[in-house]
Structure 1
C-alpha cells in the first residue's frame, strides 16, 4: 500500500515538471505587459486632460490661488525678496476710504494716498486708474516685477501690492518728507541747506549707479525727475516710480524704442531718434542736479526768454563765468562751500553733453562728486531741446546745437583716473 502511494506521488511530480510547466509565462513578460498598459493609460489621461482643461482655466486657477485674502502671505517672488499681498478692503480701511485728506499726490499712474495699517505702520498706496491713467496694467506688472528684483538704500521699497478684481494698487514704505519737487520748487515751505542738497544729489547718483551697473539686472529708469525722488525722515533720497523702467540687455549699446518719459528731462538722442540707453538717465540726472542747486524747474515760461530753459540758461552763465548766479538765493543766505557747488554744476554739465558716449557712467559721477577722482577738461555745450508750439499746438523738437551721432562705444574722456 505504501509502495503504491509513493508511486502515485512520483507520477504527480513528474507531471508538474513536465513539458506543460515549461510553457508558463516568464516574470519578464509580466513586467513588459504591465508597463505597456500603464503607458497607454497615461497617454489616454493626458489626451483627456488637454481636451477638457484649457490654458485659460489654468491661468484662472493660478490667479485664484494668488488672490487668497491673507495679508501676511507672500505671493509675488522677486530675485532678492518677496512682497506681501493686500486685499482691497485692508487698503481701503488704511486710507480711510481713500479720503482726500490723505492724498499725497497724483502722477501718471494715479493718485497716491497715505495710509496706516492695523499694526500702526504708515504706508503710501499708489492706486492705478485703469480708465484715466497714462500708464496701465502692463506698467503695474512691470513695476511689481522690477522693483522686487532690486534692492538698494536709495531705491524706494515696495511693501506689497493689491490685485483684487479691477483694483490695482502698489504699497510703498511711507516717506515722511514726500517728494523732492515739493521742496525745491517751494511748495512745502521747507528749506534745504547745501549739505542736505548735496546728500540728495549723491544718493540719487548711487541709486542710478546700482540700477545701471551693480544690480543683478541692468535697468534704465526712463523717468528720473524731482517728483520721482522721495525723501525719508533724514532727507535720504529714494528713487521711485518704476512704471516706465526697462530691463536692458548687457550686449547692446542702446535700444530703439518709442519715447516715454517727461519732456525737459529727456536726452536728445532718445527724444528725437528713440535711442535708449543708460545715458538717457544720466542726462536726466544732469538736469535734476541743476534744479536742486538753483531751486527752480527745468522749464519756467513765466521767466524771461533767456532764463526759461534751465540747462540753456545755466550754460550761458557758465560761458560768461557767472555760473555762481545759478545758485538758489536762499542757499546763498544760508551759506555754502562755493568750490563744492561749482564742482556739482560741472558734473551736471558733463552729464548733459550732446554726445551720449561722452557722458560719464554713474560710477564715475559718484567718484567725481565725492572727490575720489579729479575732473579734467571742459564739457561740451549741451544739446538743448527747444520746444516750440506750431499752429496746430503740437509740440515740435528742434536742436539748438549741432547734429550729434548715435550713442556708441567710448566712455567719458573727461574724467581722470583715481589718484593713488
Structure 2
C-alpha cells in the first residue's frame, strides 16, 4: 500500500512536470511547403526494379532509425544491383518522436507520387524534409528548389517588426553554423507592446560549417520577401528558417537568450543547460516510476504448471499450462490444427484433457534477458481484461525460449475469411488475379503493381471511375501498403494512419 501511494505521488509529480514544461499538443506540422521530382534527363536508372527495391530499403531503414532510436536526422544509401539510392530525412528537433514519425509517413506517401523511374524527389513540410536521389547529395548545401513561403497577414508596426525579425535571423544565421547539430531557436518581443517573434533555424548535419552558413545566407535573403508579414519560411537543400508571431515549438524547448548575444556576441549557455537539466529530471522520473511499477514482488507466487485446465479465474489469475499438455492438445502443433498466422505468432486449435477446445497462440518474441518477467507481467494484465468483443485470455506457457498464450476458442474461423484490401473487391487470400497463370496473393500483386506505378489496376472493375477520386484511391492504396510492410516495427501506428488519411495536401 505504501509503495502504491508513493507511485501515485510520483506519477502526479511527473504529470505536473510535463504539464508545466510542455503546454503543446501533438502536431507533426505537415503543412506542405514544396514538392518536386528530379527530371528523367538528369540521370538514367539502369534497372528500375532494383532501384525501387533499394529505395524501399532506405525508407524502411530511416523509419526504423527515427522510431526506434529517437533520431531526428538520418541518411541511408543502398547500392546493390548497380542502381544506387541515397536518402536523407530530417525533422525539426522540437517535434516529438511520434510526430516526427508521422511527418515521415506523410512525406513517404507524397514523395512516392513521383513518376515511376524518376531518379529523385524532394518534399519539404513545416515539420520535416525528405529527399532521395540516384546520385550523392548529402554534402550539398543549396539546390535549385530554394525559395521562401510567406504568410498573408501584415503585422502592425511594420518597420519595427521587420527590423526585429532581420536582427533575429542575422544573429541566428551567424550562430547556428557554430552550434553542434546546426540548429537554434530564439524568441523576443518587438519593442513597444509588439508581438513575440518565434524563430527557428536548422541545417542538415551532413554539410560543413561553411556550407551551413552559405545556405542560411541564401535563406536570409529569400526571407526578405516575406517581411513584414506575420510569418515566413525559407528552405533549401541544406537548411530551413522560419519565423512567426504564433508559437510553433514547445514552450520548454531550449532557446538562445537574445539579450546576452546582442551585448557579448555569445550564446547564453545557462538557458541550454537549464533545458537539459529539466529534461534529465523528467527522464529520471520516468525510469524510476517504470522500475517501481514493473518490479515484481520479492517472493512471487507462480501458479503450478499443469493445474486446473478449465480456464482462468479472475481471482486466481491466468493458468500456467504445461508445454506438454499444449503440445498434446494441438497434436504437436500440427499444420492441420493451424487456424491462422500473423506478425506476432501462429494460432492452433487445441483440445485440452478435459475436452475444452482452446486457441493456442505460439508467439514470435524478441530476444530479451528479462523476457520471462516481461511476458508474465503482460499476461497477468491482459487476463483481467474482459469485454464481449474481445477473446478472453485463459492462460499461458513459458518454457525455455517458447512463449504461448491460450485463448477462448471462437468457432467463426479467421477474420480474413469475411473481409474483402474495399478498393479491389477481392479477398486477401485470393489467387490467380486477372487470370494470370502464376497465381499471386492480393498483397503480392498490390506491391508489384505499385512498384511499377500501375497500382490503379487494383481497382474493382465494377467501380465507376466517375464515382471516385483517382488521386484519393492512389492515396488509400499507398497507405494500405505502408500498413502491410513485412516488419511490424516499421508499420505506421493507428494515430499515424489517421494523420495520413486526414492530410488534404498530399497530391
Give TM-score scaled by structure 2 length.
0.27
Higher Cα radius of gyration: 1
